Amino acid sequence: MEKATAESQKDSKTTLQKSVLQEGDDIALAIKMIGLGARLQVLENETSLSHDRLSRLYREIHGCSPPKGMLPFSVDWFTSWRNNVHSSIFYSIYNCLVMRTPATGVSALIRAYELYREHEEARQNDEPVLSFTRAWMLLRFFKSDMLQMTACNHCAMAFVTHAHILTRDFVCPVCKPPARIVSMLVKSANVDERPVPSRFKMRAMGATA
């Protein structure tokens, strides 16, 4: 009887120790994801912490209450021109990490997103086009077979597309951008290449002198 009680107490102590360690890991993980911009629903899915504890953590880090509302769930968001380029960059990084390193699950997601944010395209804006929450949703859509990577027939680079599309004639958004984007790029190039009037050149030279 005493032996059984001692073993029970030992098991209870071991379980408590594991739960404390797990809680510490969950807190560290939540802090990392909050810092990257994760929404509360993402934190609840990836950790075992309660809604209240996660809310308090969010307020301590950002100094405000977490945003409310549903998570972005539109698959079409990832296939529009600019969003598609950024989504494809992120998923290519994530896929490479999973295939070539021991990183898996949320650890691979976090590392891939950090590398994506270091990319030149993402650093051109104050806020990256692809948020951490959308990156998390993107992986869920891939797991649900709603999205896939499809190789472009012109450049052979893989891009995020709807699942089960006809791949034979697929051309990526970089090789064949929408007409409005081409028009914007042409206008921008014309402005950059416009000659500077001589009177402005003279003023500039005088100011330099």
Q: What percent of the chain has pLDDT over 90?
A: 59
Main-chain dihedrals φ then ψ at residue 18, nearest 5 degrees: -65, -40
Residue with tokens 């028009």: 183
- From first to last of its 209 residues, what are the pLDDT tens digits of the chain? 555 554 555 555 555 555 878 899 999 999 999 999 999 999 999 999 999 999 999 999 999 999 888 887 889 999 999 999 999 999 999 999 999 999 999 999 999 999 999 986 666 667 889 999 999 999 999 999 999 999 999 999 999 999 988 888 899 999 988 877 777 667 666 655 555 444 433 343 343 33
Q: Are 66 and 40 in contact (CB under 8 A)?
A: yes
Residue with tokens 């030149």: 120
Q: Are 149 and 159 in contact (CB under 8 A)?
A: yes
Residue 69: left (phi > 0), alpha (psi -120 to 50), or beta? left
Main-chain dihedrals φ then ψ at residue 158, nearest 5 degrees: -90, 140
pTM of model > 0.75 = yes
Instruction: Using alpha carbons, select from 45, 34, 51, 150 the residue that is nearest to residue 91.
Output: 150
Structure tokens at 33: 């994801």
Torsion of CA 15, 16, 22, 26, to 10 degrees: 140
Domain ranges of the chain: 2-62, 76-176
Q: What is the pLDDT of residue 59?
A: 95
Residue 168: CB partners within 8 Å, gap ≥ 6?
153
Could you tell me how many helices (H) and strands (E) the chain has, helices first? 9, 2
Structure tokens at 8: 């029970």
Count of CA atoms in the C-beta half-sphere (13 A) of 182 = 7
Coil, strand or helix at 117: helix
